[in-house]
Each structure stands twice: as structure tokens, then as C-alpha cells.
Amino acid sequence: MSTAKQTIKPLGGRILLKRVEEKEQIKGGIIIPDSAKEKPQEAEVIALGTGKRDDSGKVIPFEVKAGDRVLISKYGGTEVKVDDQTFIIVNEDDILGVIA
């Protein structure tokens, strides 16, 4: 059994994201259970893949960088769990925009 933290390095034009959780707000004493909450659309870029290639084999640079906050579709990407943390792997095309 290894005690080292696992890391994920996305491949190709994929990007590793971590959803930015919204702070829970309680109004009027009603608490909404986690299962009824919508998934946040805001995420932070954790790691970039090796890059997509064009028809000639040249690597196309990413338009985002690690640390950027981005908007993604609610149900886009593939969720993966590592060391009790949930990440999402998406294609760069699934990112809707960068939050300035």
C-alpha cells in the first residue's frame, strides 16, 4: 500500500478540473439536501493534457492555464475520484469560458 498521493495527468486535449463549490445558504430555516442541489458550473483548472494535434502533427496550445477559473456545462466531462477528492476531466472544447 502506497502512502504517496496519487496524481492524474490528462492526455491529449483533455483538462483536469475541480468544481468550485458554492457556499451553502440557508433561507427561512430550509436546508436543501446535497442530492437536490445543482452541480456548480464553475471550476478551477488543475492540470492540462499533452495538447491536441492538428493534421500536420503540430501541437495546438491550450487557451486556458492551470489556476484559471472556468465555466463548464452542468453535466459535461467525466468525474473521477482520487484521494477522497472529486475531479472532472473534460475536453478543452467543453469549457464555455474563462472567468476574468
Structure confidence at residue 90 (pLDDT): 95
Domain positions in the chain: 14-21+36-98
User: Quick one: fold of 14-21+36-98?
Assistant: 10 Kd Chaperonin, Protein Cpn10; Chain O (2.30.33)
Residue 28 vs residue 51, higher pLDDT: 51
- Tell me what the mean pLDDT of segment 35-59 comes to: 84
Looking at residues 14-34, what average pLDDT do you find? Answer: 72
- Percent of the chain past pLDDT 90, that is, above it, reads 48
Of 52 and 26, the one with more pLDDT: 52
Mean pLDDT (the chain, rounded): 82
**What string of H, E and C letters represents the secondary structure of the chain?**
CCCCCCCCCCCCCEEEEEECCCCCCCECCECCCHHHCCCCCEEEEEEECCCEECCCCCEECCCCCCCCEEEECCCCCEEEEECCEEEEEEEHHHEEEECC
**Between 57 and 6, whose confidence is greater?**
57
